[in-house]
């Protein structure tokens, strides 16, 4: 700990009146007990991290308190921050940022330091109390056929105009694959890792569209999509993959539960001249029928929920025609952390993706091997490409602040979205989470 002259940190001017959970400051016994534990724990944690935590009275804590250029966390309202953290854990950590209790000039870099130590931040004795302390998933957010459409709508039906403000012209809302670092096509039964894009060669935002198309084209290549291929896409997005598959001469059925996405995807597909080759259905993946030569799904498994991973892959297995292939893009997390957090209700669940949960590579291998005829034959890890994709989205989002305000999204929403994008980027920067393109093929049956 060091002490500097007190700094006049300006409190962010944030109107939280439309956000009841931010207006309500924690109180009662849980606050008193939780605050004591949280304050002691927070101080211990930051002392072992390469960060600077600056207080209004000039106190500076952290393992890099005296290191210029270290990631900085500025506590504007330390007492409220600690109270939220002690009462609601990581949900309170995120809400405290939304409310302006703290800020960070380089939010992603700061969060990446925390993310790199995610599994060891809380001492083992306290981790054993997780089930008692942390919130549980609301039953209304379990991804049953009754609930899933509502979960999807809360994120993807926010506003097409909003997403158009920060996505590239392809309207792709998943990790890009930057062309300068593309690797050759797949080979059987091996894992490969993409080289991170060089900062010196990092493309400007205008190049993101090409990187998104490169990502899509690689998936279509994996699945063998070409002239006459019957393609099923689970999770439409805004239609770019369907357009590029149809452009290869394929017939495409793509399904979504977002009415906003369905509407704009149909418009974009028609404008590209493929309305006769592509159908966009508002349909749960579990209700799809037919047989398909290729099944593709981009970052949709994260919305399935761990209780339904078996159903997801069994459905794909049922729909895949003989000789067909499956190509998915999936965000993954370490297996031990997946097991530890399976029942945890998080800030991301509450504010961004209700019902979502990231699988581990081991979970995907286990469910496919034990419950389907599908086998993983190729994986491409490209997590650092997602970090760069998210950085570009966040920069574009910040640059569109006035326009986003004009769409009706207030300053709290914009801080929430900035936190979400940078929180996600931190996960990839630190290596805590990854994104992979995965090829699945049918298990060879002995003749």
Encode pLDDT of 118-127 as tens digits. 766 665 655 5
Radius of gyration of the chain from Cα atoms?
23
Give the pLDDT score at 29: 65
Q: Are residues 89 and 182 in the same domain?
A: no
323: left (phi over 0), alpha (psi -120 to 50) or beta: left
pLDDT at position 37 is 85
* Residue 142 pLDDT class (50, 70, 90 cuts): confident
- 108 lies in which domain range? 2-135
Q: Span 156-183, mean pLDDT?
A: 88
Pair 130, 176 in one domain: no
Residue 188 pLDDT > 60, yes or no?
A: no
38-64 average pLDDT score = 93
pLDDT at 181: 46
Residue bearing the bigger pLDDT, 129 or 447: 129
Same domain, 400 and 325: yes
Mean pLDDT computed over every residue of the chain: 88
**Are 416 and 282 found together in one domain?**
yes
Q: Is 156 inside any structural domain?
A: yes
Q: Are residues 226 and 328 in the same domain?
A: yes
Q: Give the pLDDT confidence score for residue 8 in this predicted structure.
A: 45
Tell me what pLDDT residue 267 has.
Answer: 98
Q: What pLDDT is attached to residue 125?
A: 58
Which stretch of 159-168, 204-213, 306-315 has the lowest confidence by average pLDDT? 204-213
CB 326 within 8 A of CB 444: no
Q: pLDDT tens for residues 316-363?
A: 999 999 999 999 999 999 999 999 888 889 999 999 999 999 999 999
Q: Tell me the mean pLDDT in the region 9-13.
A: 56
Per-residue model confidence as pLDDT tens digits over 60-94:
999 998 888 899 999 999 999 999 998 888 899 99
pLDDT reported for residue 205: 57
Domain boundary, last residue among 117, 135, 153: 135
Taking the model in full, what pTM does it have? 0.89
- Whether residues 113 and 159 fall in one domain: no
CA distance 104 to 394: 14
Average pLDDT of the segment spanning 275-279: 98
Percentage of the chain beyond pLDDT 70 is 85
Cα–Cα distance between 238 and 264 in angstroms, integer? 6
Q: Are residues 25 and 144 in the same domain?
A: no
Among 94, 111, 135, give the residue marking a domain's end: 135
How many structural domains comprise the chain? 2
Residues 52 and 154 in one domain: no
Specify if 130 maps to a domain: yes
Higher pLDDT, 130 or 302: 302
What gap in Å lies between CA 284 and CA 286, rounded to an integer?
5
Determine, yes or no, domain membership for 447.
no
Output the pLDDT for position 187: 34
Nearest Cα residue to 426 out of 386, 395, 398, 399: 386
Same structural domain for residues 19 and 160? Answer: no
Q: Does residue 408 lie in a domain region?
A: yes
- Asked if pLDDT for residue 170 goes beyond 70, the answer is yes
Residue 440 has pLDDT above 80, yes or no: yes
The whole-angstrom separation of Cα 17 and Cα 405 is 16
User: Most confidently modeled of 113-122, 128-137, 183-192?
Assistant: 113-122
Residues 23, 157 within the same domain: no
- Interatomic CA distance for residues 374 and 439, integer angstroms: 10
Kindly state whether residue 36 falls inside one of the protein's structural domains: yes
Do both 122 and 144 map to the same domain?
no
Task: Please identify, among 92, 109, 135, the residue that sits at the C-terminal boundary of a domain.
Answer: 135
pLDDT > 70? residue 203 = no
For residues 218 and 352, what is the distance between their CA atoms, to the nearest angstrom? 28
Query: Which has more confidence, 39 or 6?
Result: 39
Describe the chain by its helix, strand, coil percentages, rounded to 5.
50, 15, 35
Q: In CATH, what number is assigned to the domain containing residue 231?
A: 3.40.50.150
**Are 61 and 148 in the same domain?**
no
């Amino acid at each position: 700990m060091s002490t500097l002259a007190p700094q006049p940190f300006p409190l962010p001017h944030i109107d939280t009146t439309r956000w009841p959970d931010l207006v309500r400051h924690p109180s009662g016994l849980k606050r008193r007990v939780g605050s004591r534990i949280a304050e002691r724990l927070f101080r211990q944690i930051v002392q072992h991290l390469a960060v600077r935590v600056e207080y209004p009275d000039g106190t500076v804590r952290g393992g890099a308190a005296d290191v210029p250029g270290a990631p900085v966390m500025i506590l504007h309202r330390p007492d409220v921050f600690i109270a939220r953290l002690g009462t609601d854990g990581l949900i309170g950590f995120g809400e405290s940022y939304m409310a302006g209790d703290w800020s960070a000039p380089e939010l992603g870099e700061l969060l990446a330091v925390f993310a790199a130590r995610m599994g060891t931040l809380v001492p083992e004795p306290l981790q054993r109390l997780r089930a008692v302390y942390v919130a549980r998933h609301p039953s209304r957010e379990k991804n049953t056929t009754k609930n899933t459409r509502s979960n999807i709508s809360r994120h993807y039906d926010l506003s097409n105009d909003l997403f158009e403000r920060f996505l590239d012209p392809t309207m792709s809302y998943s990790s890009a694959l930057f062309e300068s670092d593309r690797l050759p096509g797949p080979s059987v039964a091996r894992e490969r890792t993409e080289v991170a894009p060089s900062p010196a060669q990092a493309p400007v935002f205008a190049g993101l569209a090409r990187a998104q198309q490169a990502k899509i084209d690689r998936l279509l290549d994996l699945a063998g999509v070409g002239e006459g291929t019957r393609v099923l896409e689970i999770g439409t997005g805004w239609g770019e993959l369907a357009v590029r598959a149809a452009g290869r001469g394929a017939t495409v059925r793509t399904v979504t539960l977002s009415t906003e996405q369905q509407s704009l995807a149909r418009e974009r597909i028609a404008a590209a001249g493929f309305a006769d080759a592509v159908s966009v259905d508002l349909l749960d993946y579990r209700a799809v029928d037919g047989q398909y030569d290729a099944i593709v799904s981009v970052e949709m498994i994260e919305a399935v929920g761990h209780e339904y991973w078996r159903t997801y892959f069994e459905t794909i297995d049922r729909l895949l025609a003989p000789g067909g292939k499956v190509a998915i893009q999936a965000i993954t997390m370490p297996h031990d952390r997946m097991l530890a957090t399976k029942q945890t209700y998080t800030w991301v669940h509450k504010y961004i993706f209700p019902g979502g949960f990231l699988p581990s590579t081991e979970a995907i291998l286990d469910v496919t091997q034990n419950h389907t005829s599908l086998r993983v034959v190729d994986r491409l890890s490209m997590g650092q490409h997602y970090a760069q994709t998210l950085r570009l989205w966040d920069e574009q989002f910040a640059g569109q602040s006035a326009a986003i305000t004009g769409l009706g999204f207030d300053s709290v929403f914009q801080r929430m979205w900035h936190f979400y994008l940078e929180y996600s980027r931190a996960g990839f920067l630190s290596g805590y989470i990854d994104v992979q393109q995965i090829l699945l093929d049918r298990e060879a049956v002995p003749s």
